[in-house]
Structure 1
Amino acid sequence: MMTAKNFGFGTQIRKSPYFDATVRWGAQGFSVYNHMYIPRDFGDPVQNFWNLVNTAILCDVAVERQVEITGPDAAIFTQMLTPRDLSKMAVGQCKYVLITNADGGILNDPIVLRLAENHFWLSLADSDILLWAQGLAVYSGLDVTIREPDVSPLQLQGPNSGMIMQALFGDDILDLRYFWLREVELDGIPLVVSRTGWSSELGYELYLRDGNLGDVLWEKIMAAGAPYGLQPGHTSSIRRVEAGMLSYHADMDAGTNPYELGLGRLVNLDTDAKFVGKEALARIKETGVSRKQIGLIIGGAPLTGPNTVFWDVGKDGERIGKVTSAVYSPRLQQNIALALISAEHAVLGEYVDVDLDGQTTSAEIVDRPFFDPKKELPSTPKVA
């Protein structure tokens, strides 16, 4: 992770429209995501977590680049990318989807936004889906245009985010439903606003459609949020593991299929739609999987931060899988983790061994998510 005073990646790593604002507001370190700088450090990550769950935080997530799909065949092509059935997706709706390859492996897990009948955005996790989609389009025979537009999202997340949005946009914004979007302006700043976010708290994403206005937008939101305790922040590893939310390259990659993650609900095989990986996913569903994702409660002293390598998981002296994401939750006062292990050992209540950098620690297999399993927190905005 680079510090704010020491950037050495060169011009091939892009800065977001909010970069200067985040440094001004205390960003102390950055990493790289989708070939862009992303703020990862505003001080104590535990305090960032408490800010998120108690009041609200504003996060620069312009790294969630958009793949824009337009043209007469945009709906057909967008469906070709994902096994989730989009046939009933309305204009103004958002959906969490998986993008799969011919083997059923996961290439990305974006949010799809439908702005118009033939206008879609894929709001990406960390992989080059623009190139994948442009390559597929060449040989698809479909009439589509695929590009990366000038769109840069911010995430406003936390229980007070609804009141901050109300202060910015008026009472009507409170009618925006979970996983729906609206095109709006804020003092002439063109935006798409959605009730989505990578936190499992009440939250919104504000998609700026003019990168020249990033600094202005950031300051307007921070000013409106000041009475409600808004703080600059970064996406919280603690909160997302509590919620069982997945991180691409950590919890899944092109060698992971949806059924291993318990995400069969995002695979609709009983449709006429032709999507990449359909035959492979049908075979996997028929034969079953050899690995399954589980939750773990890991014993021992509190972890001092998220894992930076995959930790081996063992049973009776045999390696059976790996921990993909682990963190200490100050709210639950437990070390919690997501892991991929042999399906035969994925039994709730059983114990396994985790190799914490050479030290073997016992861990209990538990269900996910670890907190708010019914996802009630994102559902109802507070009113000022």
Structure 2
Amino acid sequence: MTNNESQTLDAHPNHPEVDQSDRVLPRNLRQTGDPGIEMLVSTRVRKSPFFDKSFNEEGAWRCTVYNRVYHPRGLVEPEDGGAMKEYEALTESVTLWDVAVERQIRVKGPDAEALTDYLITRDATSIETMKGKYVILCNEDGGILNDPVLLRVAEDEFWFSISDSTLMQWIQGVNVGMDFDVEVDEIDVAPMQIQGPLSEDVMVEVVGEEVSEIPYYGLMDTQINGCDVLVSQTGFSGEKGFEVYVKDASENAERVWDPVMEEVKAHGGRQIAPGHHRRIAAGILSWGQDMDHETSPFQVNLGYQVPDDKEGDYIGKEELERQKELIENGEYPFNLKLVGLKIAGEPIRDYAPDFWIISDPETGKECGYMTSPWWNPELETNIGLGFVPAEKLEAETDALLNDEIYEHDLDLEFEVHLPEEYAEGDGEPAFATVAEVPFKESVNPSAREQAKLNARKESEE
């Protein structure tokens, strides 16, 4: 059965049978594949300060648009191993990523802490100077607007290192009604990531031994090639890694890039595209794929971002606390829930051009969709994240449909309608089983992952 044949005759191809009534704007689930179109390069989309290095020197051969900035998404050509060759570099040596698309939004002034605390669900007042934290910002309906890394670079200054959604105008708009004494601007700072097992070795050569003392989510001011930079021990890979935030990037970006790239290559590494294959294994979400402004943190593995003990008010607090109470009482308030899936079929070695349809093998009915699939060589199977009916999960487990659900492999199967190149046999859908998330532990586990690991150790003693 092909993807087109899997759609019922009475369903519009843009809107298969999948219940998207949780959403005001449904996702387009039409299975169009990759039409092989060409990216138009124009002044409507920004070129980052690393653009020339990534595309003209290091040979990035394709890109996407992220935060209205061109973003390299392929350095190794398919005939040379493609994305999986990049995965090998990330997990075995060291890699450099151009992530200047993570635009830096600065909130600075006497009320910077107060406004930041009102914007995020977690407690901004507990973030020490020169420390960072992974956070989310929600709207009044509890939808996730962005999931930045938040950096506190001074007592009165925060940087939001944003994911793929416009945030500056949101913060400015919020402040119109609140009148906090702050300035909100996008600043001339461009980050790069150094990720992989040898990332610390590279950073020691570039900035010195003191980089080894930076804790996870810690920050350090230093210089590279005479240019001011901020270094953090963070990343988007699940591997050991650092980010270098180049200040005055319009002038200094390439002066910082060159010695870092030279050291990466000296350690057997290379530039790669951001490691979506590895972040999927680590259970790290990508805004726009796995979640958006119509997604509650309780629909994905971000329920821990809604604390029980935050006294201060924040945008979305009333609705998120209502959702949390319902879930704790066994009344999940949504139709769909994001889960991890291990998927049969041929190895998926590149980005999915569509949200591939998930169906119920018992009824054949379309019931969900994949957001982030990829092949994992360690597990020797395709893995991915996808939305499935909450009622199917509830029938299979006594676990609450909060973050607890990600700690379980469930004896629950679905079918994924893969494109012909990945499908088994005569294009039949591939079986998929609900799996524990993360699929592969991170070098620096999140607080939720660490709690789970500690619980396992206690049970084994």
Length-normalised TM-score, structure 1 = 0.93
Q: 2:53 aligns with which of 18, 21, 29?
A: 21
Residues 355 and 86 (structure 1), Cα distance of their counterparts in 2 relative to 1, 3 Å cut: same
Q: 1:216 aligns with which of 255, 259, 267?
A: 255
1:32 equivalent to 2:65? Answer yes
Distance in 2, Cα, partners of 1:73 & 1:359? 58
Structure with a larger share of its residues in strand: 1
Determine the structure 2 residue equivalent to 1:196: 234
Residues 147 and 373 (structure 1), Cα distance of their counterparts in 2 relative to 1, 3 Å cut: closer
Determine the structure 2 residue equivalent to 1:47: 85
Q: Which range moves more in the overlay, 259-268 or 340-349?
A: 340-349
Residues 67 and 277 (structure 1), Cα distance of their counterparts in 2 relative to 1, 3 Å cut: same
Distance in 1, Cα, partners of 2:73 & 2:231? 23
Structure 1 residues 177-188: aligned runs within 5 Å: 177-188=215-226
How many residue pairs match? The answer is 374
Q: 1:104-136: CA deviations, max 9, x gaps? A: 000111000000111000000000001111110
1:349 equivalent to 2:381? Answer no
Q: Is the 8 A contact 2:239 2:442 kept in 1?
A: no
Determine the structure 1 residue equivalent to 2:43: 11
Distance in 2, Cα, partners of 1:306 & 1:21? 23
Q: Is the 8 A contact 2:216 2:444 kept in 1?
A: no
Q: Which range moves more in the overlay, 9-18 or 142-151?
A: 9-18
> Partner of 1:87: helix, strand, or coil?
helix
Residues 262 and 225 (structure 1), Cα distance of their counterparts in 2 relative to 1, 3 Å cut: closer
Distance in 2, Cα, partners of 1:294 & 1:7? 32
Q: What is the CA distance between 1:92 and its match in structure 2?
A: 0.9
**Aligned letter for 1:351?**
E
Residues 37 and 374 (structure 1), Cα distance of their counterparts in 2 relative to 1, 3 Å cut: closer
Distance in 2, Cα, partners of 1:155 & 1:322? 31
Determine the structure 1 residue equivalent to 2:286: 247
Q: Is the 8 A contact 1:262 1:292 kept in 2?
A: no
Q: 1:311 aligns with which of 356, 371, 387?
A: 356
> Partner of 1:27: helix, strand, or coil?
coil
Distance in 2, Cα, partners of 1:80 & 1:320? 37
Structure ID, larger Rg: 2
1:79 equivalent to 2:117? Answer yes
> Partner of 2:245: helix, strand, or coil?
strand
1:368 equivalent to 2:424? Answer no
Determine the structure 2 residue equivalent to 1:206: 244
**Aligned letter for 1:179?**
Y
**Aligned letter for 1:63?**
V
Distance in 1, Cα, partners of 2:64 & 2:144? 23
1:112 equivalent to 2:164? Answer no
**Aligned letter for 1:303?**
I
Q: Is the 8 A contact 2:238 2:443 kept in 1?
A: no
Q: 1:39-71: CA deviations, max 9, x gaps? A: 111011111000001011101000000110001
Distance in 1, Cα, partners of 2:39 & 2:307? 45
Q: Is the 8 A contact 2:118 2:313 kept in 1?
A: yes
Q: 1:285-334: CA deviations, max 9, x gaps? A: 12233232211011122124232211222222233321111011123211
Q: 1:295 aligns with which of 336, 340, 346?
A: 340
Length-normalised TM-score, structure 2 = 0.78
> Partner of 1:335: helix, strand, or coil?
strand
Determine the structure 2 residue equivalent to 1:90: 128
> Partner of 1:356: helix, strand, or coil?
coil
Q: What is the CA distance between 1:87 and its match in structure 2?
A: 2.2
**Aligned letter for 1:356?**
L
Distance in 2, Cα, partners of 1:202 & 1:59? 14
Q: What is the CA distance between 1:186 and its match in structure 2?
A: 1.6
**What RMSD, in angstroms, separates the aligned Cα atoms of the two structures?**
1.8
Q: Which range moves more in the overlay, 181-190 or 356-365?
A: 356-365
Q: Which range moves more in the overlay, 81-90 or 304-313?
A: 304-313
**Aligned letter for 1:14?**
R
Distance in 2, Cα, partners of 1:147 & 1:219? 28
Q: Which range moves more in the overlay, 365-374 or 215-224?
A: 365-374
Structure 1 residues 259-278: aligned runs within 5 Å: 259-278=298-317
Determine the structure 2 residue equivalent to 1:382: none
Distance in 2, Cα, partners of 1:151 & 1:359? 48
Q: Is the 8 A contact 1:83 1:269 kept in 2?
A: no
Q: What is the CA distance between 1:93 and its match in structure 2?
A: 0.8
| Unpaired stretches in structure 2, ≥5 consecutive residues | 1-33, 77-81, 397-409, 420-426, 447-461
**Aligned letter for 1:354?**
V
Q: What is the CA distance between 1:240 and its match in structure 2?
A: 1.0
**Aligned letter for 1:42?**
L
Q: Which range moves more in the overlay, 333-342 or 60-69?
A: 333-342
Structure 1 residues 105-144: aligned runs within 5 Å: 105-144=143-182
Determine the structure 2 residue equivalent to 1:231: 270
Q: Which range moves more in the overlay, 181-190 or 354-363?
A: 354-363
Q: Is the 8 A contact 2:96 2:264 kept in 1?
A: no
Q: What is the CA distance between 1:228 and its match in structure 2?
A: 1.1
